Amino acid sequence: MGKTLKYPFTVIKQFFEIWHLHGARQDLQRWIDSAMSEEYKWNQGSPGNLLFFYDHLKELIAIAREIIQERKKNNVKDEDDEFEDAFDLIRILEKRTKDLEDFPMNLTLEEMCFPYRVLRSFFKYKTITAWYEELHRWLGMALSNDSIAQDENPEEIFPVTEHLFKLIDTMNVILAIEQSKKS
């Protein structure tokens, strides 16, 4: 990858220094639970904690988009970065994992080996602008007495949450792969 991606990987690293993978998933799940509730439910510290997570998740989405755009600009195909030896990838991830909860459980083995496909799928599902609007809407619902479930049926909600969990896990895998290249 080009020099322009040095900053994005720094941002990903900083995200996972603030939250271990399991902690990021927990905060996302709390956010989802709060947004789904018909009463104010954000009880994990101050609402500022949710705003902090929201800002960092938006930044992670922006970086994911930047990575995809840079790969497209440089004509890098997913197969070029395929992690062919799944066992090596598991060993790399295992080194970074404090316990099983910090393993990217929301991804299949194929998705772990082709993490950039997951990012492309994320942006095929929604544009970056649509993701920002969706996060903003979920934020408002989490900090109010309204419920996202009043506006949408579960079939519309599940793919959004699934993509967000996969994004977090995928960015963790990408960081692990990039860091393994340096060692």
Averaged pLDDT, groups of 10, the chain, 183 residues long: 60 93 92 83 75 95 94 77 64 65 79 90 97 94 82 81 96 86 70
- pLDDT for the residue numbered 104: 76
**pLDDT for residue 134:** 94
Report the pLDDT value the prediction gives residue 6, as an integer from 0 to 100.
53
Cα 133 from Cα 12, distance rounded (Å)? 22
For residue 149, give every residue at least 6 positions away whose Cβ sits within 8 Å of its Cβ, in sequence order, or none.
36, 38, 157
| Closest to 127 in 3D by CA, of 103, 163, 99 | 163
- The set of long-range contacts for 68-74, using a CB threshold of 8 Å and a minimum separation of 24, is 68/116, 68/119, 68/120, 68/123, 70/1, 70/2, 70/4, 70/5, 70/8, 71/1, 71/116, 74/1, 74/2
In this prediction, residue 74 carries a pLDDT of 85
For the chain, the structural domain boundaries read 3-182
Dist. CA 148–CA 140, nearest whole Å:
9
Helix axis angle, 47-73 to 154-182, nearest 10°: 70
pTM confidence score: 0.86
pLDDT of res. 42? 65
Residue 2: per-residue pLDDT? 38
Q: What pLDDT shows up at residue 1?
A: 36
**What pLDDT sits at residue 40?**
64
Distances from the Cα of 112 to the Cαs of 44, 141, 162, 178, 181, in angstroms?
A: 31, 32, 15, 13, 16
CA distances from 139 to 123, 130, 182 (A): 20, 14, 37
Calculate the dihedral angle through the C-alpha atoms of 79, 174, 111, 126, rounding to the nearest 10 degrees.
Answer: -100
Measured CA distances, 53 to 42, 89, 153, 165 (Å) = 13, 28, 25, 14
